[in-house]
Structure 1
Amino acid sequence: MSRTCKLGVLAALALAAVPASASCPFLGGQKGSQPDLGTGVDRALRSYDDSYYSGSGADFSRETYEALQADITAVFTDSQDFWPADFGNYAPLMIRLAWHCNGNYRQSDGRGGCDGGRIRFNPERSWADNTNLDKALTLLQPIKLKYGDAVSWGDLITLTGNEAIRSMGGPVLGFCAGRLDDASGFDSLELGPSPEQEAVAPCAVNGTCEFPLGTSTVGLIYVNPEGPLGVPDPAGSAADIRDVFGRMGMNDSETVALIGGGHAFGKFHGACATGPGPDPTDAPEAPWPGTCGDPDSPTFGRAENTFTSGFEGQWTVEPLVWDNAYFKDLLEYDWVMTESPADQVQWFPVLKEGATETEDEIPDIIMLTSDIALLYDEEYLALVELFASDLSYLDTAFAAAWYKLTSRDMGQFQRCVGTDVAPPQDFQLPLPEAPADLPDTDGAKSAIMSILSSDPSYPALFVTLAWQCASTYRSTDFLGGCNGARIRFSPERDWAGNQGLDQ
């Protein structure tokens, strides 16, 4: 039995669920900085339940879907004093929330992703990369209260990301609904930082973490945007990007489309050098209060005084409009290192030699080392040039990559529900249609019995074959198992434990 199966079964037998806290709707089950360990049961058990959504209260009807879309869109331009919207629009913030909830998925063991909505809990909640995303959850809280169990937090976060892209003119392929919320961060403990992560995937130097971890830096979604270990080395950053995006199953085209498409929107924040303040581990009731600006100002720690990543600026001139300006600007200018008000390395544009425009025409934009990295890799550069020259090609590539990013943890196509599900994608391992004429199972049974009786060693061999085929199933992302009979193909047929079974 796999470790994931053992963990789920043992948790189901040994742990009792702890009642969720009533203090804050999106933090049900959170007790300060400690994850509620009584909730590792749900995922392991529900994955074996034929009535997966029975009793959940989920409503995937067209009527509810359209009502949710309208309510979500209304939030974007309703700026709140507690966290004023950049450019008067929360859509870029919501894309970041959806990206970070989904983007921690890793192929190695299927952990991560937004199914479960565990970004609400530690350890994910306190990751440096998720600084100030508690404010995005607070903005969505009235919608969650309005719809209750009709929509899970995982579905709400992901759908909000879709609607944010759509509202700014970006392409959306579809929406794979069907996430059920976990009651704690139990199933994210192995993502780290935690003793559980150190036990299964230790990382001696944070920033050089390797497979099976999905990121190079525990606490970040992908790579350090300032460069490897904070060193502004674009070529080294490009290598890290390919490695880390590969760990979540993304190819070069998907990687570049996601980076540039995502950076078409919004800005980053680093208004001062004193940081965002204590994280949810140290201040669970009011994390990241901000430290920048005049303490007597109504915008102390927020608005123009926000600190999130430590970088300051925006990627494009029109950060609320979908376009391919990110790629065009990368190519049009040379880029020079500078420092943000928080003393972090970022890059500003200068005219190339022989340019016809004037200094006054240079846009007030910024790139990070992880952006400049795309110019220092031949394959990435070719894609930058392609996306810069063909917006429609970027539309197609980004829509497909975003759908993969936000659906990969959901497993096979058949697990997607709702009225806006995209056609089956390759990453969902679609099975062929069932044949019109089903095989003669009685005849097959008779043939198998004849084979089994021909050699006394065959029954044990066939039991082993069935076990090896089925036991690959994992409840984290619902992959594996014998549906598809992939034990016939590499890599499964090449595994040491499967040697001889092809005979």
Structure 2
Amino acid sequence: MASSASRQLFRAATRAAAPARRGFTNSSSSVNASARAAFRQGSAGAGRRYYSSEAPKSGGSSTLLWVGVGAVGVGAAAYYLTQNGGAAAAPKAFKPEFKDYQAVYNEIAKRLQEHDEYDDGSYGPVLVRLAWHASGTYDKESGTGGSNGATMRFAPESNHGANAGLINARNFLEPVKAKFPWISYSDLWILGGVCSIQEMMGPKIPYRAGRADRDFNSCTPDGRLPDAAQGAQHVRNIFYRMGFNDQEIVALAGAHALGRCHTQNSGFDGPWTFSPTVLTNDYYKLLLGSKWQWRKWDGPKQYEDKETKTLMMLPADMAFIEDKTFKQTVEKYAADNDLFFKDFSAVIVKLFELGVPFPEKTETFVFKNLDE
């Protein structure tokens, strides 16, 4: 109840801080400053003309160089601890429980609080994007891709345009992996997305563990993630391939309440909402309630809100109100944040579990937020 009350107070403050839209010249600085001060925390997909992206930091991927084929397949089931008594003791299989995964969640959440220098004040959006892109490569016909593998650690998948800048999210999670070596990268990346959604005022996201890492031979081909410069038919083609219907597609798009695009990654620029580190249904409200016009600039075609010129929408976003079937769901979510949260939680779980052969009766965990 306390968490729910805090969430409601924050949203009220966010809306009060947002402009009546006229005369507003600073897109999100005041809102996000309040968010960081109150919660000590603060993008779904982007690459070259892909969904949301984030600014890459200076430096390379040296922290990942040790990750090789020898580390592939290291997960909870393959990690061993030796009993007290020295080298002669028989190894004992380590079987992580809920408390162990909660400890990983807490470590990620603490790092989100401690490292608020990224983008609008949180690594949360880019961690959601990492989990999204690790999962969204799934093809239901061939059974390839999905979150079971963490193959973005390797080229060529790490170099796909849609994954530009995600080295930042992977590097952010490396200290967590070092502290909890029993968890697979595949499970860790998804847990990072779950934690980020919940810590950014989103709904609870049920989580099942059991993903196993794979090597570069399982890298998926380029082009499986959405191209944000395209329209409704392209969006349907991409998501139908994964197994989603129209309502689920629109629910997933609500993740664009988080994060922003950057020219150095996707070519596009700007946030979708005034509070890009807090998950709300504002993405849908802005789609319907704002007036959008083509931005006049040297970059790829994108929209800007006519009143403040500080928010942006991509051609694929506008498809959700140009297509009659999509628009009906947009209207429902714009009118009911609780409905959006309910459907978003269900569909993001479906996305995060694509391609994972969970054994029967695999336990489902619902994690406590760090402040609970």
For this structure pair, what is the TM-score category when the shorter chain's length is used for normalisation? 0.7 to 0.9
Which 5+ residue runs of structure 1 have no aligned equivalent?
1-22, 31-35, 44-51, 193-217, 228-236, 271-306, 351-358, 422-503
1:157 aligns with 2:189: yes
**Cα pair distance change 1:226/1:419, threshold 3 Å:** closer
Rounded Cα–Cα distance in structure 2 between residues aligned with 1:377 and 1:400: 23
Rounded Cα–Cα distance in structure 2 between residues aligned with 1:166 and 1:112: 25
What amino acid maps onto 1:364 in structure 2?
T
Partner in structure 1 of residue 304 of structure 2: 348
Shift of 1:75: 1.7
What amino acid maps onto 2:342 in structure 1?
T
Shift of 1:78: 3.0
**Cα pair distance change 1:416/1:344, threshold 3 Å:** farther
Shift of 1:54: 4.8
TM-score with structure 1 setting the length? 0.55
1:175 aligns with 2:207: yes
Rounded Cα–Cα distance in structure 2 between residues aligned with 1:153 and 1:415: 22
For residues 236-267 of structure 1, give each alpha carbon's deviation from its aligned partner in whole angstroms, at most 9, with x where no partner exists: x101111210010001111000012x101111
Rounded Cα–Cα distance in structure 1 between residues aligned with 2:145 and 2:345: 21
Rounded Cα–Cα distance in structure 2 between residues aligned with 1:54 and 1:366: 44
For residues 271-324 of structure 1, give each alpha carbon's deviation from its aligned partner in whole angstroms, at most 9, with x where no partner exists: xxxxxxxxxxxxxxxxxxxxxxxxxxxxxxxxxxxx211111000001111211
For residues 165-196 of structure 1, give each alpha carbon's deviation from its aligned partner in whole angstroms, at most 9, with x where no partner exists: 000111133001111112x21112xx32xxxx
Partner SS state of residue 87, structure 1: coil
For residues 387-440 of structure 1, give each alpha carbon's deviation from its aligned partner in whole angstroms, at most 9, with x where no partner exists: 10111111111000000000121135627346449xxxxxxxxxxxxxxxxxxx
Equivalent pair of 1:26/1:120 in contact (CA under 8 Å):
no
For residues 199-218 of structure 1, give each alpha carbon's deviation from its aligned partner in whole angstroms, at most 9, with x where no partner exists: xxxxxxxxxxxxxxxxxxx3
Partner in structure 1 of residue 225 of structure 2: 221
**Cα pair distance change 1:418/1:328, threshold 3 Å:** closer
Residue correspondence of structure 1 range 84-483 to structure 2 within 5 A:
84-148=117-181, 150-182=182-214, 184-188=215-219, 191-192=220-221, 218-219=222-223, 221-222=225-226, 224-227=227-230, 237-260=231-254, 262-270=255-263, 307-339=264-296, 343-350=299-306, 359=307, 362=308, 364-412=310-358, 414=360, 416-417=362-363, 419-420=365-366
State, as a whole percentage, how many aligned pairs show the same letter: 31
Equivalent pair of 2:224/2:238 in contact (CA under 8 Å):
no
Partner in structure 2 of residue 484 of structure 1: none
Partner in structure 1 of residue 43 of structure 2: none
Shift of 1:77: 3.2
Which 5+ residue runs of structure 2 have no aligned equivalent?
1-61, 81-93, 368-372
Equivalent pair of 1:327/1:385 in contact (CA under 8 Å):
yes
**Cα pair distance change 1:388/1:72, threshold 3 Å:** same
For residues 59-116 of structure 1, give each alpha carbon's deviation from its aligned partner in whole angstroms, at most 9, with x where no partner exists: 4312211211111012223338xxx401121001100111111111110111111211
Equivalent pair of 2:206/2:365 in contact (CA under 8 Å):
no
**Cα pair distance change 1:321/1:410, threshold 3 Å:** same
Question: Superposition RMSD on alpha carbons, in Å?
Answer: 2.5
Partner SS state of residue 263, structure 1: helix
Structure number with greater Rg is: 1
What amino acid maps onto 1:263 in structure 2?
H
Shift of 1:333: 2.3
Which structure has the higher relative contact order (CA within 8 Å, separation 6+)?
Answer: 2
1:71 aligns with 2:107: yes
**Cα pair distance change 1:383/1:413, threshold 3 Å:** farther
Shift of 1:325: 0.9
Partner SS state of residue 267, structure 2: coil
Partner SS state of residue 416, structure 1: coil
What amino acid maps onto 1:346 in structure 2?
Q
**Cα pair distance change 1:413/1:394, threshold 3 Å:** farther
Partner SS state of residue 414, structure 1: coil
TM-score with structure 2 setting the length? 0.73
Shift of 1:136: 1.2
Rounded Cα–Cα distance in structure 2 between residues aligned with 1:407 and 1:59: 21
2:67 aligned to 20, 28, 39, which one? 28
